[in-house]
Structure 1
Amino acid sequence: MVQLMKQERHPMTFNGPLEAGMRAVAILGAAYPQTFDLQRLVAFDYLLVHTGDVGGPESLHPPSPLHSAELLVRRRLVEEALLLMMTRDLVVREISDEGFKYGAGENAAPFLTSLTTTYLVSLKERATWLVESFGGYADQQFRAVMRKFFDEWVEEFQSVERSFGGGM
């Protein structure tokens, strides 16, 4: 039984629903009253900690050689994070003609004001930069930007694969 319990625990430093939820609240707080769909928030969640990869401030998290894989696994995490933050009125979900959109909830501003550690202040600053840089992009424009970075990351992945003796 103890062995089974140990097997089920997976450390997720910076990548649990609470951490991803705090990033979502930072993004949505910086964007208020603007709202975003899940796909945009997934991309923003990645970009928020890797701003240096897209011409912004120094990244909060170390670089990852497998950017595309990291981006692809975030959807479920961001969904769980948004649901968690909705239980505390930090995030609201609205239904629009385009589907579900998420925005800052009633408690988002006071919550964000209370975050004062160096890391969280840096996170909020990067959220503001991210929203100012990409928040106004139409979906098609934003997809084009992400496609450009995704193509660069695929090339980077292929270089890593070749260095390990993979075929290309």
Structure 2
Amino acid sequence: MDLMENNIKAVPFNNNVETGLRILCILNESYPRSIDLQKLVYLDYMTVHSADIDKSVESLHAAVPYRNGELLVRSSIIQKGINLFISKGLIDRVFNETGIEYLASEYSTPYLEMLEEEYLLNLINRANWVAANFSDLPKKLLKEILSSKMQDVRNEYNIELLH
């Protein structure tokens, strides 16, 4: 089947599989902590655009202008990825007093250990960095960190427009 004949576009990044895989890596590296959707949005952005947070850490994806807008649309994309990986038994949904959170299942580590692609190894490295440095922080503080860094991103591209 030709993709062009059916007007189907292949989307290599931020599709359900790639997004779900990123969330799985974050949850696996954060285990045994469970994490809610909004916090996963923040942690996912930090995983993808690590250099926005710490210039000594290379970002997983290229730095594109206006990427700070990703935070506004990331929630629904992440939810679809989570649902896909829940259906495969790799992510568990946890109901507690604060609401719905997500947790890496017992199958997540063996699954991830089977994968050897360079992108995945880089993803695990970034997810480990994010989990070690940010997953214990409250959402309010994560939002403040991202807000201050997003101002830097906006300034970076506004300055480039002046040249």
Residue 62, structure 1, aligned to residue 67, structure 2? no
1:111 aligned partner: 111
Q: Matches of residues 18-37 of structure 1 in structure 2 within 5 Å?
A: 18-37=17-36
C-alpha separation in 1, matches of 2:112 and 2:14: 19
CA RMSD between the two structures = 2.2
What is the total number of aligned residue pairs between the two structures? Answer: 160
User: Once the 2 structures are TM-superposed, how far is the Cα of residue 58 of structure 1 from its aligned partner?
Assistant: 0.8
Q: Which has the higher contact order (CA 8 A, sep 6+)?
A: 2
Q: Percent identity?
A: 30
Contact 2:16 2:78 survives alignment (8 Å): yes
C-alpha separation in 1, matches of 2:73 and 2:159: 21
C-alpha separation in 1, matches of 2:77 and 2:133: 24
C-alpha separation in 2, matches of 1:151 and 1:53: 10
Distance 1:18-1:3 versus aligned 2 partners, 3 A rule: closer
SS in 2 for 1:82: helix
User: Once the 2 structures are TM-superposed, how far is the Cα of residue 98 of structure 1 from its aligned partner?
Assistant: 1.6
1:5 aligned partner: 6
With the length of structure 2 as denominator, give the TM-score of the two structures.
0.87
C-alpha separation in 1, matches of 2:110 and 2:4: 42
1:152 aligned partner: 152
Per-residue CA shift, 1:49-91, capped at 9, x if unaligned? Answer: 2111111521121101112222222111100000000011111
SS in 1 for 2:6: helix
With the length of structure 1 as denominator, give the TM-score of the two structures.
0.85
Amino acid aligned to 1:40: K
Amino acid aligned to 2:126: R
Q: Which moved more, 1:55-64 or 1:150-159?
A: 150-159
C-alpha separation in 2, matches of 1:138 and 1:95: 19
Consecutive unaligned residues in structure 1, runs of 5 or more: 164-168
